[in-house]
């Protein structure tokens, strides 16, 4: 893999059920179990799916006209499946987007459905990864054993 393709985050425990997620650019956010305002891992998954698609659609449509409203809602049901494992199903990404009246707004409105489909079919790394079911490896790092 090239250096341009590599992505990573680090997660540090701050207390029981509370963590800080950091990216290589210095950004950070809190994550937890849902007992406070911090995002849960499932909420971050939903945000990643919606955020990835939102970025794609925004870049494509805003070349034609600046939206007057642009919001994305992502929903799903957390279930325990027949094998006894937790997972999400019924994932839905819902766009609420409006553009100004006029020729440029018309061009953006016309591009909206196509940009959503392009994001879903090939551009959004997150939703494509979820849909394709990419395997995840768990690796024991140094320092895993007793101090």
Q: What is the pLDDT of residue 140?
A: 87
Q: What is the pLDDT of residues 64-91, one digit of tens each?
A: 999 999 999 999 999 999 998 999 999 9
d(CA 136, CA 24): 21
DSSP string, 72-141: EEEEEEEEE-TTS-EEEEEEEEEEEEE--SSHHHHHHHHHHHHHHHHIIIII-HHHHHHHHT------PP
Question: Both tokens of residue 60?
Answer: 């494509």
Q: What is the pLDDT of residues 103-116, one digit of tens each?
A: 999 999 999 999 99
Q: pTM, whole model, 2 decimals?
A: 0.90
Identify the residue whose tokens are 């939206």.
67
Residue with tokens 């100004």: 100
Tell me the CATH number of domain 41-132, given options 3.40.50.20, 3.40.50.970, 3.40.50.2300, 3.30.300.20. 3.30.300.20
> Which residues of the chain, if any, have pLDDT below 50?
none
Q: Where are the domains of the chain?
A: 1-39, 41-132
pLDDT given at position 144 = 61
Residue pointed to by tokens 């140094």 = 142
Computed from CA positions of residues 70, 59, 61, 102, in that sequence, does the dihedral angle turn out positive or negative?
A: positive
């Amino acid at each position: 893999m090239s250096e341009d393709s590599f992505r990573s985050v680090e997660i540090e425990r701050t207390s029981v059920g509370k963590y800080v997620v950091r990216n290589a650019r210095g950004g950070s956010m809190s994550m937890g179990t849902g007992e406070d305002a911090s995002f849960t891992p499932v909420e971050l998954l939903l945000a990643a799916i919606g955020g990835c698609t939102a970025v794609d659609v925004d870049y494509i449509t805003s070349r034609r006209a600046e939206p007057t409203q642009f919001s994305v809602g992502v929903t799903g049901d957390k279930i325990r499946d027949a094998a006894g494992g937790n997972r999400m199903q019924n994932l839905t990404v819902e766009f609420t987007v409006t553009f100004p009246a006029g020729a440029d707004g018309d061009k953006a409105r016309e591009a909206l459905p196509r940009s959503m489909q392009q994001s879903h079919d090939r551009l959004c790394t997150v939703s494509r990864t979820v849909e394709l079911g990419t395997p995840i490896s768990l690796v024991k790092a140094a320092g895993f054993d007793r101090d």
